[in-house]
Chain A
Amino acid sequence: MQMGKKKISTASTKMVFLILLGCLNVYPVIWMISGSFKSIEDLFGKGLSLLPSSWNFQNYVEAWVGANFGRYFFNTLIVATSVTVLMVLITAMAGYVLGLYRIPGKKIILGLLALTMFLPGGLTIIPVFRLVHSLGLLDSLAGIILASLSGGLVMYTLLFMSYFGTLNKELAEAACIDGAGFWRTFYNIMLPSVKPMGVTVGLFTFLGNWNSFFLPLVLTVSRPELRTLAVGVYSFFGEYDTQWNLICAASTISLIPVILLFLLLQRHFVEGMAGAVKG
């Protein structure tokens, strides 16, 4: 009996300790969110407090319309969504063929993929920038989308390859005999059977591109209207570093979708991350 009680009390002490520490850990984020509702005097005067003296929703209107963050939000959404869809499709297609089919030249392709992981990369952003420019895509989000497809491509192809490799090829063959074409077999039968990997790759591609900074920064230098949220906050903050409440509002706008996604798919997120060290 006594042992049991002692156990419970240490467990609840630990829990209280963890909750306090966790709250301290998210304080910067909560401060940012509360700052987005504060007036500028409020932010400068009572910097530490988390409760605004009056709730100022006007900040969001100003950030969304006046400071153009509405536009940046949709830019980010378009880029992150397009890259995610294309990335899952492209790497799954390649992984499907590499994992399940014996084709001439497969070893060369695998060699190329491995090579890119060992070659020390230099300042690859410059050739990428020039390539996007020569394709005439610097004036559109398509340039950022195309350039962003390089991040993770090799790793995700290899992940899909090993995942497809564990599947039974007879499933695909049976579908083929039933008259489904190559593409149909892939899309209707094989792709659904690698859904867990698809969700993981999609989630990480979306998060990575939502939070991406360097690539959109470089590709939008002369095109302010193409900025993503991260680049928008950086630029706004460089020009108006006193309008903290608007920076907070813009930052909160950027945080909402990822937090929602994180809460909805927390299990996938944690398992996907954990996969990186378990393998």
Chain B
Amino acid sequence: MNGDCCCFERTIFEMQTRKDLLVMERHPFSLTAKQKETINAYIFLVPMLLILGMLIIYPILATYKYTLYNWTGLDEPDQYVGLKNFIIVAKDPYFWNAVKNSLIYTAVLVPIQLTLALVLAVLLNNTYGRMTAGIRSLFFVPVVTTPAIIGAVFWMLLNPVNGPLSQVFGLFGIGNGNLDLLGNPSTALWAIIGVGIWQTLGLNIIYFLAGLQSIPKGLYEAATVDGANGFQKFTQITLPLLRPVTIIVLLLAILGSLQVFDTVQVMTGGGPFFATDVVQTYIFRFAFGGEHVKPAVGYASAAALFMGFLTMGLTICQFFVAKRLRK
């Protein structure tokens, strides 16, 4: 009505609002402009608060309750078992196998990926004329690709029967063209780590590029005048100044790796013989049932919360280490 009004309409409207204000002042029970504003402000918060309450806070509290029940997920939880679920989790060798696999995945993936990302970011930080954006895109594309679909594509690439990668290995005399990396318990986790490194490499390159671009160019020029070579500039300028960014990148990479699910679920589902069973696939199997497992939602909730606390502990440790490093 009054969004893009001309001057004439505006003056009339102003007169009207002033009249309204006068009218309001006369009624003792009507609201002041300030009160109206506050009510409007609350109305604006309602959608966010509804979703926060219904889909974030309530589920967190509800899942705490489920951990105390023996429950298949059907009907309502009624068989209260106290902390028994947590005890079973802590005693289950398969849970610790999954924790071990998640930790190996993280401990191998993160250092390799971040080193690669840093080196590539330094190289990509140079400009290559009109090619710059194109070259960078080659490294960013996997980041926007659906992880579950990446899982399916790599499953095909790694397939022992005519899969392209097993043919490549065959050329080098490995596996005679039917190398089954995902089907072999001793290699499956390594193949999955390889895919993981590829999948989020571009993301970390972006992070490091952002860090590199915040380093003043003058420092490098001054170092060149002083006769420093490329390697010296990298170790004396780039690395120290990148430290704050590196700490955050490291935290994000570790947290992300501990939560890997999509690619693993699609490529192996945790197999063969639990060789690639990470914590998230373990929890998924118990929550929704899977090979030789009936749904046990109470138990799965306990396992998830157990992992939640382990991760939180780890994050707090990292936080303190990071704080000390920053000084």
> In the complex where A123-B304, A251-B153 touch, is A230 in contact with B148 (Cβ < 8 A)?
yes
Beta-carbon contacts under 8 Å, B248-280 to A:
248-249, 252, 261-262, 265-266
Beta-carbon contact of A122 and B60 below 8 Å: yes
A52 to B304, CA, bound (A): 46
Beta-carbon contacts under 8 Å, B36-67 to A:
36-38, 40-42, 44-45, 47-49, 51-52, 54-60, 62-64, 66-67
How many A-B residue pairs lie within 8 Å, measured between CB atoms?
285
B contact residues around A124 at 8 Å (CB)? 56, 59-60, 62-63
Beta-carbon contact of B146 and A211 below 8 Å: yes
Beta-carbon contact of B157 and A126 below 8 Å: no
A8 to B182, CA, bound (A): 44
Beta-carbon contact of A207 and B45 below 8 Å: no
A149 to B63, CA, bound (A): 19
Beta-carbon contact of A14 and B126 below 8 Å: yes
Beta-carbon contacts under 8 Å, B115-169 to A:
120, 123-124, 126, 128, 131, 133, 135, 137-142, 144-157, 161-164, 167-168
Give the shortest distance, in Å, between B41 (CB) and chain A (any CB).
4
Beta-carbon contact of B13 and A131 below 8 Å: no
Taken residue by residue from 6 to 49, chain B's Cβ proximity to chain A (1 for < 8 Å, 0 otherwise) reads as: 00001001101100000000000000000011101110110111
A15 to B136, CA, bound (A): 11
SS of A interface (majority): helix
Whether A101 sits at the interface, judged by CB under 8 Å, is: yes
Beta-carbon contacts under 8 Å, A207-224 to B:
207, 210-211, 213-214, 218, 221
Whether A233 sits at the interface, judged by CB under 8 Å, is: yes
Which of A131, A153, A254 touches B58 (beta carbons < 8 Å)? A131
Which of A43, A94, A125, A131 touches B54 (beta carbons < 8 Å)? A131
A contact residues around B203 at 8 Å (CB)? 273
> In the complex where A14-B123, A120-B308, A234-B266 touch, is A131 in contact with B145 (Cβ < 8 A)?
no
Beta-carbon contact of A29 and B142 below 8 Å: yes
> In the complex where A122-B301, A123-B283, A218-B288 touch, is A109 in contact with B49 (Cβ < 8 A)?
yes
B contact residues around A229 at 8 Å (CB)? 146, 149
8 tightest Cβ-Cβ pairs between the two chains A and B: A22-B138, A274-B210, A120-B308, A94-B48, A182-B40, A127-B62, A124-B59, A122-B63
